[in-house]
Every structure is written in structure tokens, then in C-alpha cells.
């Protein structure tokens, strides 16, 4: 079967760094996306990894290890507006995104 495993909820402090881990199992693999979703809103794209390694984009970085079925999203210099759910979504052999429930990140002052 296909499944995603992320922590349900994480809490971090404004200005700090947080790493959200994701492990996945899919039928085939065509890359992995990270999306941010604020409550009551649609997801917005953060990153896409198809090769192993780290992709850095401003305060956000995403890492992928295909052999381990593992990815993480690293958020630096946390801001209050970063409070949201973060969705790890691998793409299977049919180019379909597989969605988990995401990780709710709570930022405290």
C-alpha cells in the first residue's frame, strides 16, 4: 500500500529552527512535494525534490533520501506566520500525489 508518516503536531519558538520529518511508501516514485496549508485555505507549494540531497530556498530547505523513503522540511528563523500545516506529498508511478494528514506546526513567541 501507499502511506505517509509525519508527526501530527509540532511546537517551536519564534526565531528558532524546526525540522519536519516524513517517511513514505509509494508504488513507484516521481519526486516529493512539500506544501504549506494555513487553516481554511488551500495548500501552497514550498518545494519539490526528485534527486537525493538538500534543496535550499530562502528560509526553507527540503531534503530527500530515496533509498530510505525519507524527506524532511527545515524551517529557519521561524516567524509567527509559519504556523500552518505542512504536507509531505510523494508522487507515485502514475504521477499522482499521495497525501497524508500533514504536520500542524505551532509557533510560540
Which residues contact another protein by CB under 8 A? 30-31, 33, 35, 40-45, 48, 87, 91, 95-97, 99-102
What are 108's three cell numbers?
Answer: 510560540
Q: How far apart are CA 98 and CA 60, in angstroms?
A: 22
Task: Return the number of the residue (15 or 28) whose C-beta is nearest another protein.
Answer: 28
The least CB distance from residue 41 to another protein, in Å, is 7
Q: Do the beta carbons of residue 71 and residue 32 sit within 8 Å?
A: yes
Q: How far apart are CA 40 and CA 22, in angstroms?
A: 23
What phi and psi, each to the nearest 5 degrees, are found at residue 8? -70, -40
Task: Return the number of the residue (31 or 69) whose C-beta is nearest another protein.
Answer: 31
Task: Return the number of the residue (11 or 13) whose C-beta is nearest another protein.
Answer: 11
Enumerate residues 6+ apart whose C-beta is below 8 A from 41: none
The least CB distance from residue 40 to another protein, in Å, is 8
Task: Return the number of the residue (95 or 109) whose C-beta is nearest another protein.
Answer: 95
Q: Residue 73's closest CA among 83, 81, 63? A: 63
The least CB distance from residue 35 to another protein, in Å, is 8
The least CB distance from residue 1 to another protein, in Å, is 13
Amino acid at each position: 500500500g501507499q502511506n505517509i508518516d509525519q508527526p501530527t503536531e509540532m511546537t517551536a519558538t519564534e526565531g528558532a529552527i524546526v525540522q519536519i520529518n516524513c517517511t513514505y511508501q509509494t508504488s513507484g516514485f516521481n519526486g516529493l512535494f512539500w506544501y504549506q496549508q494555513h487553516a481554511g485555505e488551500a495548500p501552497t507549494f514550498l518545494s519539490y525534490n526528485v534527486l537525493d540531497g538538500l534543496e535550499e530556498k530562502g528560509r526553507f530547505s527540503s531534503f530527500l533520501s530515496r533509498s530510505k523513503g525519507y524527506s524532511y522540511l527545515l524551517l529557519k528563523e521561524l516567524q509567527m506566520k509559519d504556523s500552518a500545516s505542512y504536507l509531505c506529498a510523494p508522487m507515485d508511478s502514475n504521477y499522482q500525489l499521495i497525501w497524508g494528514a500533514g504536520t500542524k506546526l505551532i509557533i510560540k513567541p
